Structure 1
Amino acid sequence: MRSEQVSTPFDEQIEELRAGYQAQLAQIGELQARMREVTGTATAKAQAMKVTVGPQGELLSVEFPTGAYRGMAPKELADLIVSTVQEARGKATAALAEVMAPHLPQGLDAEQLLRGTADVKQLIPSEAAMPDAVREYVDRGRPA
């Protein structure tokens, strides 16, 4: 004998919630994939070098399109490498912020967040949310 499951008024709502949850998971997966694909590329003066970095600033490639680097003193070349990588990292950070911005709370600057300079305190309420009875207890102490 087979028992039939009785449908409840909440079944449709539960299915909608489940579908919404699955859609959010898919969006998060797509966002993560887009974030992993971000790169930043910079070319130094006189095309002496070109670098590409990944979303976290990791060095992905270094190219020397011309022989301009050959005439540079070691310090000059080192400074050129550092400044070109920094420029590429800045571009990657800006691109990553552009991908992330629509998914962050309003008022939170994605680029500042990635650089560690965002004021995240503005997102936290000045007082913790709590029921009135608890708030009264905290404010006045134990009832007599």
Structure 2
Amino acid sequence: MSTPFDEQIEELQATYRAQLEQIGELQRRMREVSGTATAKAQAMKVTVGPQGELTAVEFPTNAYRRMTPKELADLVVSTVQEARAKATAELAQVMTPHLPEGLDAEHLLRGTADVGRLMPRDPAMPEAVREYVDQGRISRDTGDGPRIAHN
């Protein structure tokens, strides 16, 4: 025996399954993100994954052999930073269509996004709840239904 809600429930389930599939695809795309940077004079090339983890280091030329340890260390750091910036930009590009309007994905990934501004300072709620939150009690009746006093 079917009910009037069966069709709505099936539609909700189909929508839910489609959203799960989209989330799975988004996660797959996020895992595939990488960033590659090549240092000046092709002294080194690095690749990082979506979390900025170093996944490959190459020395296409022998240029690194003429560097002092400090020069090589500085080159490694700056090249990895460049690769991480590229990976972050690519990850942001993948994520942006799935974020609320006004939320910058690169700022979110760097931990500098102001996510607090996406939430209302004064959230919508029934008047009885607002009164309880503001005053710690609810009056007995205000004409729109019974209310219980909490002291």
One fold, TM greater than 0.5? yes
More helix by share: 1
Q: Is residue 59 of structure 2 the alignment partner of residue 43 of structure 1?
A: no
Residue 62 of structure 1: aligned partner: 57
Residue 21 of structure 2: aligned partner: 26
Q: TM-score, normalised by structure 1?
A: 0.92
Instruction: State the Cα distance separating 1:30 from its structure 2 match.
Output: 0.2
> What stretches of structure 1 of length at least 5 have no aligned partner?
1-5
Q: TM-score, normalised by structure 2?
A: 0.88
- Higher relative CO (Cα under 8 Å, sequence separation at least 6) belongs to 1
Q: What is the root-mean-square deviation in Å for CA atoms of aligned residues?
A: 1.2
1:1-144 to 2 correspondence within 5 Å?
Answer: 6-142=1-137, 143=139
SS in 1 for 2:55: strand
> After TM superposition, what 4+ stretches of structure 1 lie above 6 angstroms from structure 2?
none
Instruction: State the Cα distance separating 1:130 from its structure 2 match.
Output: 2.0
The share of aligned pairs that are identical, in percent, is: 79
Residue 3 of structure 1: aligned partner: none
Instruction: State the Cα distance separating 1:131 from its structure 2 match.
Output: 1.1
Instruction: State the Cα distance separating 1:138 from its structure 2 match.
Output: 3.1
Quick one: distance in 2 between partners of 1:17 and 1:83? 49
> What stretches of structure 2 of length at least 5 have no aligned partner?
141-151
- Aligned pairs, number: 139
Deviations 1:72-126 (A, max 9, x none): 0000000000000000000000000000000000000000000011011111110
